[in-house]
Amino acid sequence: MPVLEVKELGLQLYGDSWRAMQELTDKRTPSTPDQLWLLQHPAVFTLGQAGKPEHILNPGEIPIVNSDRGGQVTYHGPGQLIAYTMIDLRRARLGVRGLVTQLESAVIGLLAKYAIQANASKDAPGVYIDGAKVASLGLRVRKGCSYHGLSLNIDMDLEPFTRINPCGYPGLAVTQLTELGVKSDLPSLGRELAQQLAAGLGYTLSFTDPDADKLDE
């Protein structure tokens, strides 16, 4: 069974993470293990490749980054779990749509453990609870390998989502796990999400020493 190396990286600047993902993707070989990075970002709006600036209504002091991921505009901030998936899709015999489905299913499976019913949408990738978005997805594939991934709202300030049209949808409701009664902390939820994703993709998890995890490695 292939190994998925999990790195728990704490709070990281979006640009630093992005560059590190690109570097890993460019340097990896057919024998490079796939990786899952679990982290948080300081407040930032990111525009995906399909992003339209007019969907950023009132950014205020929050910086805006034009990213190479798929999708529209979203917000990242402390209290939101980021899960970046560096996966060799050819080796995994997995297409982009298949990876998106597995990411959505991992979140849905995680929420089910807390008796929360969630669903995906064919028209707009992500995970929703009663029409409110709780997780967003955005991927990039280069050299047959994926990077970027998903964000899951856990215990954060949701106000910045009112400054944008989330994922390009005006008035889209956004929710988070604390509003749904989930008391678990972000690191624990990250590990539970990793377990859900590994089960769906057929991986064995390997958690690296958090003290040894650095983005420039």
Ordered DSSP codes for 100-143: HHHHHHHHHHHHHTTT---EE-SSS-SEEETTEEEEEEEEEEET
DSSP class of residue 62 equals S
Q: Do residues 53 and 47 lie in contact, with contact meaning Cβ atoms separated by under 8 Å?
A: yes
Type of residue numbered 147: Y
Report angle CA 180, 10, 46 to the nearest 5 degrees.
Answer: 75
Q: Do residues 149 and 127 lie in contact, with contact meaning Cβ atoms separated by under 8 Å?
A: no
Task: Report the catalytic residues.
Answer: 167
Total residue length of the chain: 217
For residue 159, give the nearest of 53, 58, 50, 42 by alpha carbon.
58
Binding-site residues for substrate: 69-76, 136-138, 149-151
For residue 174, give the nearest of 189, 186, 163, 182 by alpha carbon.
163
How far is CA 130 from its chain centroid? 21
